[in-house]
């Protein structure tokens, strides 16, 4: 193999390694948890009281719906921490629309599978076991609970729900009546994305062995010599 072929091969390997490093950095940057607080939109814009919410969080790959006739549902600021407890900060998302019509179900859909889901739940006049929380991976139910996993104190209205399931694509809160309930601080983590076609070449590229690295050193030395001769 000539020095020039070694140089070409070395350049190709270095480009592959740089591309792989960039892909790993992009994945690690997107791997942290996301929180929807219903006070701001993904771009940081303030979300006023009684704002409709359905596709406003598409930037986070989240859509929200109520019943067929009560969509979109809306935010509310009538649940101050002094009333609802320390788990609530600012506005919550309630099971009613801007006109006050109520739905028995809130459905949260994720465009990509998620895990490590948690949120503060406010049942208002209902106790926690009056609302069912279900999580689905595609069409398979992977989690169901009838009460929160934590209540700060007996005087607090809010519960913390923590969902121990992976690959969740849909979250559903269902009440047994038309009583008002809501949620705040929806937190989740995007599951590791599958390998895309554009990254397939990067993932399948061979990693240089010690012998190849030695050849790379010789190639750079040869490149230096060739540049000196050309001057």
Q: Give me the pLDDT at residue 136, please.
A: 97
Rounded distance between C-alpha atoms, residue 197 and residue 150, angstroms:
43
| Span of 25-39, 55-69, 92-106, 159-173 with lowest mean pLDDT | 25-39
For the full predicted model, state whether its pTM sits above 0.75: no
- Measure the CA–CA gap between 81 and 122, rounded to whole angstroms: 11
Mean pLDDT (the chain, rounded): 75
Number of other CB atoms surrounding residue 162 within 10 Å: 13
Q: What's the mean pLDDT in 133-142? A: 93
Give the model's confidence band at 108: pLDDT under 50 very low, under 70 low, under 90 confident, else very high: very high
pLDDT at 28 over 90: no
Domains of the chain (ranges, CATH numbers):
3-27+207-230 (no CATH), 34-190 (2.60.120)
Question: Residue 39 above 50 pLDDT?
Answer: yes
Decide if pLDDT at 179 tops 90. Answer: no
> How far apart are alpha carbons 93 and 95 in whole angstroms?
7
Which segment, 81-90, 113-122, 185-194, 222-231, is predicted with the most confidence on average? 113-122
- Evaluate if residue 168 carries a pLDDT over 70: yes
Q: Is the alpha carbon torsion for 201, 202, 203, 209 positive or negative?
A: positive
- Poorest-pLDDT segment among 52-56, 85-89, 96-100, 217-221: 217-221
Give the number of other Cβ atoms within 10 Å of residue 86's Cβ.
12
Residue 126 clears pLDDT 60, i.e. is over it: no
């Amino acid at each position: 193999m000539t020095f020039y072929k070694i140089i070409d091969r070395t350049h190709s390997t270095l480009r592959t390694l740089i591309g792989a490093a960039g892909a790993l950095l992009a994945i690690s940057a997107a791997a942290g948890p996301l929180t929807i607080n219903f006070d701001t939109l993904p771009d940081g814009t303030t979300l006023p009281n009684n704002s409709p919410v359905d596709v406003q969080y598409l930037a986070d790959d989240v859509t929200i719906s109520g019943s067929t006739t009560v969509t979109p549902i809306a935010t509310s600021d009538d649940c101050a921490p002094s009333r609802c407890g320390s788990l609530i900060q600012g506005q919550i998302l309630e099971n009613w629309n801007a006109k006050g019509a109520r739905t028995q179900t809130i459905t949260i859909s994720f465009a990509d599978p998620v895990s490590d889901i948690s949120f503060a739940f406010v049942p208002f006049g209902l106790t926690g076991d009056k609302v069912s929380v279900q999580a689905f991976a595609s069409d398979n139910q992977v989690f169901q609970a009838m009460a929160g996993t934590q209540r700060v104190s007996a005087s607090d209205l809010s519960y913390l729900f923590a969902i121990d399931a992976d690959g969740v694509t849909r979250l559903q809160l269902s009440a047994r009546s038309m009583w008002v309930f809501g949620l705040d601080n929806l937190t989740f983590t995007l599951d590791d994305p599958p390998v895309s076609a554009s990254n397939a070449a990067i993932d399948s590229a061979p990693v240089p062995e010690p012998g190849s690295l030695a050849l790379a050193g010789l190639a750079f030395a040869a490149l230096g010599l060739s540049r000196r001769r050309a001057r």
